[in-house]
Structure 1
Amino acid sequence: MSGVRLIETLPKVQSHLHLTGAMRPSTLAELAARAGIDVLPVLDLDGVHEWPAFQGRYDAARAAVRSAADVARVVREAAEDDAAGGCGWLELQMDPTSYAPALGGVEAAVEAVLAGAAAAPIPVGVIVASSWARPGAHATRLATLAARYAGDGVVGFGLSNDERRGRVADFAPAFRIAADHGLARTPHAGFFTGAAHVRACVETLDATRIGHGTSAVGNPAVLDLLVSRQVALEMCPTSYPPFGVHPLASVPVRAALAAGVPVAIGSDDPLLFGVGLAGQYALCRDVLALDDAELAALARGGITASAASADLKRTLLAGVDTWLASP
């Protein structure tokens, strides 16, 4: 591990970031004060929590976002923060259902995010996400919505929330719509569930990336499937310890890389977990002991698996080569 090359100068992409969780703490404090609401304290990162402890804080933060201007601000600031850490392409995930009551409908919610993306300092693609906790028919409606904006900045369709709360087969129609319109397919899987759930999302939903997917690393057959289809795992190191999924030092980034699985590093919800994109790479270096070549492999995996344009991918990949060749 050379320790010479700066993490912030390594070209990278952000493939796993949720809209509310991307909010700056200072912005949340300002919006909450303006709205006259109390926000739950930040998650205690030293403890182990059940999902509702996270979801309650996330919902409370989202309640402070009251207008299209608020949404656009969150998007722009998230892009500024990631750009400062060397990010050249950001994919931001949002469930428009959650913002529809405040903004006047799901279309208005998507358009507010797209307006923020247009004002961002780096290119931003939007992933419309449904929830594992909602019916498959709801996901189909949102996939149809995502397809409508496929040429206007929406680049993917996902499933977020606790993956234990839904059946994979129920969401197959929604993901067929996404595939038919050339959208990336990025369901969360393999966080609380086992490797079989990751396999089902690849085979039944035709996933192009898996949100988290760390349980797959313990199953050679599923690893082979991911390698053969070049399905990337979006790993977010600080997301796992608070739920008892993995201690930080045991997040299986290196094992996935060694198996030939593309790995895209993300920050998930820095508002709650406290670490942005460059900080996640720093943890890969300083805690997981990845060397510069492995960090470059992470950057390449994220870039290649992203929904960025071919030209932008070439530029970013060349930048990774330059970074690694520098003294």
Structure 2
Amino acid sequence: MRPPISDLPKAHLHLHFTGSMRHATLLELAERDGVRLPSALVEEWPPQLTAADEKGWFRFQRLYDTARSVLRTEDDVRRLVREAAEDDAADGSVWTEIQVDPSGYAARFGGITDFTELVLDAVRDASDLTGIGMSVVIAANRTRHPLDARILARLAAQYAGRGVHGFGLSNDERRGDTAAFGPAFAIAERAGLDLVPHGGELRGPAHVRECLTHLHPDRLGHGIRSAEDPRLLEELAQREVALEVCPTSNVSLGVYQTLDEIPVRDLMDAGLQVALGADDPLLFGTRLAGQYAVLRAAQDFSDTELAELARMSLRSSHAPAELREVALERIDAWLAGSESPPPRDKMAP
């Protein structure tokens, strides 16, 4: 038997805030406050999604916004973060980076600063409770004005080194002018934050190049379609830009039709660092360990390959050096266990 993926130490670098919510928690909070959920979030869960056109993305975003609406109290926020940490710990994560746009919650929680402080406090408590390391990425929304992104970049800079380590840019890649967000990323870069915008999932290699030119990323959220351009792969490898690949998200949103089409091996063969992430488990139905499991099942990834993916997730993370080193040793032990000889009575004479 192959060793459980949940025993493989790994880092989780692509996890959205509301999207990390447990489905059972969504149902419970909605019932508490009389929030009527669409059937796609109840009996038809996980929903059938696509982002092939604006209508498909609008439906995805509407479901996300509906889920966000059930977060109404500080205890709700703390519960979401605690349960996300518990789920990641159960999946083998030793380090989790959770991404949030405070402006989406500000009206209900006293503004972007108060909400950020609430999330950071919740992250500290969840980390202490579960024993995994955690940090926060503050992300701007590319469907909003670039000046809003500058405000969030300054907010992220204010908390740099105090629980916030990164600045991102999310939502539909086909919206907004990527170059217009450059000044916001310059603010974050000057503050020493990791730059982790989304790119290269709904749009192809040309958009990845826009991100490289204007946003100077350390990592790219998704980036999977970089595989369509060998020269771009060479450039990403040369620049040491890691990719946060989310297999179940790619298929759910229609970027690829099947799991066996996702070119993870192509990225690895090109020398890129690849970190698997769950993106929005609430909407895609699969958490962190599931991303490794689908590659094991659909593409016959060996334990050696899975271990290397776990190593790359740690190398690409903001985890402290000591935590990373211990986890890398545990990965070696996991792999050694997977390669142990069969019991003596089953060995050939």
What TM bracket, shorter-length normalisation? over 0.9
Structure 2 residue aligned with 1:196:
206
Corresponding residue number in structure 2 for 1:82:
88
Q: How does 1:30-179 map to 2 (within 5 A)?
A: 30-40=28-38, 41-42=40-41, 48-49=50-51, 50-120=56-126, 121=130, 122-179=132-189
Question: What CA distance in whole angstroms lies between the structure 2 residues aligned with 1:35 and 1:182?
Answer: 41
The residue identity in structure 2 corresponding to 1:21 is G
> What is the deviation of 1:126?
0.5
**Unaligned residue ranges in structure 2 (runs of 5+):** 341-349
**Among candidates 15, 18, 21, match of residue 17 of structure 1:** 15
Q: Where does residue 27 of structure 2 map in the other structure?
A: 29
2:241 is equivalent to residue 231 of structure 1: yes
Of 312, 316, 319 in structure 1, the residue corresponding to residue 327 of structure 2 is 316
TM-score under structure 2 normalisation? 0.90
1:116 positional shift: 1.3
The one-letter code of the counterpart of 1:116 is: A
Mean Cα displacement is larger for which, 271-280 or 115-124?
A: 115-124
Q: In the TM superposition, what is the alpha-carbon distance from 1:14 to its structure 2 partner?
A: 0.5
In the alignment, what sits opposite 2:254?
244
Paired residue secondary structure (2:197): strand
Shift of 1:254: 1.1
Whole-Å Cα distance in 2 between the matches of residues 278 and 158 of structure 1? Answer: 24
| Residue number in structure 2 paired with 1:293 | 304
- The secondary structure found in structure 1 opposite 2:137 is strand
Q: Which moved more, 1:41-50 or 1:23-32?
A: 41-50
Q: Is the 8 A contact 1:69 1:112 kept in 2?
A: no
Change in Cα spacing, 1:48 to 1:161, as seen in structure 2 (3 Å) is closer
C-alpha separation in 2, matches of 1:212 and 1:48:
16
Q: Note the C-alpha offset of 1:203.
A: 2.7
2:278 paired residue number: 267
RMSD between aligned residues: 1.3
Q: 1:279 aligns with which of 290, 308, 311?
A: 290
Secondary structure, aligned partner of 1:119: helix
Measure how far apart 1:44 and its partner are.
Answer: 5.7
Q: Deviations over 1:47-104 (max 9, x none)?
A: 6451111111000000000122211110110000010011000000000000101101
Q: Aligned pairs, how many?
A: 325
Determine if contact 2:96/2:133 at 8 Å carries over to the other structure: yes
SS of aligned partner of 1:73: helix
- Work out whether residues 211 and 235 of structure 1, in 8 Å CA contact, stay in contact via their aligned partners in 2: yes
User: How far is the alpha carbon of 1:157 from its aligned partner?
Assistant: 0.5
How far apart are residue 313 of structure 1 and its match? 1.4
Shift of residue 161, structure 1, vs aligned partner:
0.4
Amino acid at match of 1:125: S
Q: Is the contact made by 1:132 and 1:164 (CA closer than 8 Å) also made in structure 2? A: no
Secondary structure at 2:14 match in 1: coil
State the distance in 2 between where 1:176 and 1:169 align: 11
Over the matched positions of the two proteins, sequence identity in percent amounts to 48
Larger radius of gyration: 2
Which residue type is aligned with residue 73 of structure 1? Answer: R
For residue 173 of structure 1, give the secondary structure of its aligned residue in structure 2. Answer: helix
User: Which of 18-27 and 47-56 deviates more?
Assistant: 47-56
The aligned amino acid for 2:249 is S
Q: Deviations over 1:148-194 (max 9, x none)?
A: 11121011110110011121111111111111122111111111111
Unpaired runs of at least 5, structure 1: none
Contact persistence 2:46–2:282 (CA under 8 A): no
Distance 2:155 2:188 in 1: 10
Give the Å deviation of 1:288: 2.0
Code of the aligned partner of 1:30: E
Question: What residue is the counterpart of 2:215 in the other structure?
Answer: 205
**Structure 2: which amino acid aligns with 1:115?**
D
The answer on whether the counterparts of 2:259 and 2:295 sit within 8 Å (CA) in structure 1 is: no
| Change in 2 beyond 3 A, CA 1:159/1:47 | closer
